Amino acid sequence: MLTIVSDLLLTDCFLIKGNVENKYTRLSQVLDESRRYFLKIRDATLIDLKTCERVETPLLHVNLDEILLAHEFLDEGGDQHARLLAGDTELHRVRAFYTGKLNLEIAGQLRPGSYEADDRLSRRFFILRSPKVRGFDDHGDKDLIGLGELPYVIVNKLRLSYIYDFN
């Protein structure tokens, strides 16, 4: 049976594919505005980043603090963040690093100051366009390789360790 998934989450240990339950708007907004500790994922597939072993489960609860990156496989045309980025807003090139179990590096373009605590358009998560993701072996797994081909990722700013802003 083929299951359509709309959401992708990356943690220190797993790439998680599935559908966020009770999603009332775009994933970026759900993550940024959630007042819960756990996000419910339906029809989840967990892909171990070290072994590529896959585990499938009908329901998974993911702690929001564990999420490093996220992505939503939907048309970006209705996304307020995409509209902002497509406008006259100048984008900054950055490299950002997570340190921990997974030493992850992401590079891309973002709205200036979006990673700061006082950013008025985001709280915990921001959008990074044209991301390049490095720091783990994809082992030839098509889903892990796909992380490098996403048009944008939603970044958990609270998990970032270092940011190099080229501007």
- Residue span of the structural domain in which 66 resides: 7-72
The Cα 119–Cα 116 span in angstroms is 6
Give the pLDDT score at 3. 57
Q: What region does 118 belong to: left with phi over 0, alpha with psi -120 to 50, or beta?
A: alpha
Among 26, 41, 72, give the residue marking a domain's end: 72
The Cα 8–Cα 17 span in angstroms is 5
Contact 108/18 with Cβ under 8 angstroms? Answer: no
Residue 146 lies in a domain: yes
Look up residue 153 and give its two tokens.
Answer: 């990722």
Give the pLDDT score at 85. 45
Per-residue tens of pLDDT for the chain, all 167 residues: 555 679 999 999 999 999 999 888 899 999 999 889 999 999 999 999 999 999 999 999 999 999 999 999 875 555 554 555 455 578 999 999 998 888 899 999 999 999 999 998 888 999 999 999 998 899 999 999 999 899 999 999 999 999 999 98
Residue 1 lies in a domain: no
The alpha-helical segments, DSSP class H, found in 91-150 are 142-146
Same domain for 160 and 80: yes
Same domain for 104 and 27: no
Q: What CATH number is given to the structural domain containing 51? A: 2.30.30
Same domain for 119 and 81: yes
Same domain for 126 and 81: yes
Among 39, 57, 72, give the residue marking a domain's end: 72
